[in-house]
Amino acid sequence: MTITERRVKTAMTQAVRQRNYRRIRDRALRRLGNLYPDQYRELLEQERAKDEAQGKVWIDLSGRTNASVGAPTPHKAGGVSQRPSNSKQESDLGGEA
């Protein structure tokens, strides 16, 4: 077995072990969240506050981050981003340009 083959085999083994560890860990967290929902939510909020204080961004279940730069969101007036390419002109709104 060459050095390259041995390194590839080692990397594959480590990847499988890491994947299995993450799967078991996620399963355990899900069970704890179901057994103790209030405490779990409270701990999550504490961790989120710590991370946001350090400038880290959390990702929600859909894979989108909470920090959106100029992206359309329902809470913005008109739901339009502030990027020039997406800005509405008066002619688009039925007014005169």
The answer to whether residue 44 sits within a structural domain is yes
Q: Does the residue 94 lie in any domain?
A: no
Q: Which domain holds residue 41?
A: 1-65
Q: Is residue 7 part of a domain?
A: yes
Number of domains in the chain: 1
Average pLDDT over residues 52-70: 69
Tell whether 27 is covered by a domain. Answer: yes
Task: Name 58's Cβ contacts closer than 8 Å, sequence gap at least 6.
Answer: 48, 51, 52, 65, 66
* 28-45 tens-digit pLDDT: 989 998 999 999 889 989
97 pLDDT tier (thresholds 50, 70, 90): very low
Does position 27 have pLDDT exceeding 90, yes or no? yes
77 is a domain residue = no
Does residue 89 belong to any structural domain of this protein?
no
Please give the DSSP secondary-structure letter assigned to residue 55.
Answer: T
Asked if residue 40 belongs to a domain, the reply is: yes
Residue 9 falls inside a structural domain:
yes
Please determine, for residue 63, whether its predicted confidence score (pLDDT) is greater than 60. Answer: no
pTM of model > 0.85: no
